[in-house]
Amino acid sequence: MSMSQSANDSAVNSIAVDINGRREVLTATPDTPLLWALRQHVGLTGTKFGCGMALCGACTVHLDGVPIRSCVTPISAIAGKRVTTIEGVSGAVAEAVHAAWVALDVAQCGYCQSGQVMAAIALLTESPSPTDEAIDRAMDGNVCRCGTYPRIRAAIHQAATALGPSVPASTARERR
């Protein structure tokens, strides 16, 4: 792991990170947001720019499995960590979410959907059969201007059903 972080943010550094299971060396100033490193240095354009202030969630990726806003996460904060983007997310939950998104025709313009899908995968990984209130809490940071919210909610429930009841009901109740 090579990481030479300088106190001077304008100095260009090389920061090594694991992105979608591949080791990438990002050569940029340490204050560069992960979003722009992904989009312009690595060429992963599925993660979108919406607000630049962590207000809309279009830039949501997973950092060690936890959803974060990549537009306000400097690459200096992610050295040695595991980044998963919409292009690299996989597994049973990701497949169920993706299948539900297509089956219910969630997307309209689609611009926010990478972030929505990443937020939904994180939610279902943490809480396999979320209540409506849990969905509200987990998804409220992800803005959609086309108004796909009713279908996002339905798709999350459908994905949860497809994944089956793997968590005791008491745990689900606790999370309410």
Q: What are phi and psi of 34, to 5 degrees?
A: -50, -40
Closest to another protein by CB, 59 vs 79, is 59
Binding another protein (rule: CB under 8 A), the pick from 65, 80, 91, 150 is: 150
Residue partners of 110: CB distance under 8 A and separation at least 6: none
The window from 14-22, 107-115, 121-129, 168-176 that contacts another protein (CB under 8 A) reads: 107-115
Our finding on whether 171 is near another protein (CB under 8 A) is no
Q: Distance between CA 22 and CA 39 in Å, rounded? A: 15
The DSSP 8-state label assigned to residue 78 in this structure reads -
Our finding on whether 36 is near another protein (CB under 8 A) is yes
Q: Distance between CA 17 and CA 81 in Å, rounded? A: 6
Our finding on whether 131 is near another protein (CB under 8 A) is no
Our finding on whether 81 is near another protein (CB under 8 A) is no
Our finding on whether 43 is near another protein (CB under 8 A) is yes
